[in-house]
Amino acid sequence: MRDVPNRHRGLPSRTPEMLYNVVRKFYRGAVSHYDLIQEKKREAHACWEQMQTSGDDRPLRAALTTLFLEFHFYVTCWLQIELALYRLARQDERLALVMDTFRAALERHVAVREQLEQTEACVAAQFTALGSGWSCPGIEQDAYLFDGFTFTVDESSLVELHALYAAIEEQRRLSPNEKA
C-alpha cells in the first residue's frame, strides 16, 4: 500500500492523456460526493443535538465515523488529482506552476487523507472533555480537528477544487501534445 509521505515514489509512467483522464474522473467523483457529505454533516449535527439532551455520545460517534468515511473518499479524489498533476508537472513547466499555485490546498487535503486512514482516532480527537461530559466543537463550528489543524468539506474546498480543475484544463487545452 502506498502511504502519503511516499506517494510520489515509483509511480508508473502514464501518457498525458491518461493523466488528464485521471484528473477528470476524480474531479467529477469529488464534486458528485459533495452533496452527500453535506447530508452526513447535517446528520452528525442532529446526533450532536441529541447528545446535548441525552448525554449519549454513541450515535454521534457513529455519525462522525460515517462522515469521516465520506471525507475520506473526497480527499482521496484530491490525492489522485495531486498524483496525476505531479506526473504532468514533471512533463510540463506550465503544470508545475499550477501545482505550485495550488500546493497549499493540495497538501491540506492530502494531509487530511493521511489522518483519515485512522478513522477511529480522528473521531476520538473530535471530543473534548467539558466539565462532567463531552463536547464536540467541530460539529458546532463545522471545523473538524485533524492533527493540529481544522478541516471540513465546505463551499471553499469545492471552490478550490473547481479552480484547480479549471487551471489544469486550461493547460491541457494549451498543450500542443493533447487532443482537445
Distance CA 127, CA 133 (A): 10
- Residues 28/137, Cβ–Cβ less than 8 Å: no
Domain annotation covers residue 24: yes
Which domain does 126 fall in, by range?
16-174
Domain annotation covers residue 5: no
The pLDDT of residue 180 is 42
The pLDDT of residue 134 is 63
Domain annotation covers residue 66: yes
Q: What's the number of domains the chain is made of?
A: 1
- CA-to-CA dists, residue 87 to 53, 100, 103, 172, 173, angstroms: 51, 13, 14, 14, 17
Distance CA 144, CA 177 (A): 42
Q: What is the mean pLDDT of residues 139-160?
A: 92
Domain annotation covers residue 9: no
State pLDDT tens for residues 1-52. Answer: 445 555 555 566 778 899 999 999 999 999 999 999 999 999 999 999 999 8
Which of these ranges, 26-40, 69-83, 119-133, has the smallest mean pLDDT? Answer: 119-133
Domain annotation covers residue 2: no
- CA-to-CA dists, residue 100 to 59, 86, 103, 137, 175, angstroms: 41, 10, 5, 33, 18
Domain annotation covers residue 54: yes
| Mean of the per-residue pLDDT values of the chain | 89
State pLDDT tens for residues 50-60. Answer: 998 998 999 99
Domain annotation covers residue 157: yes
Q: Which of 70, 69, 49, 71 is nearest to 60 (CA)?
A: 49
CB burial string 45-69: b at 16+ within 10 A, e below: bebbeebeeeeebebbbebbebbbe
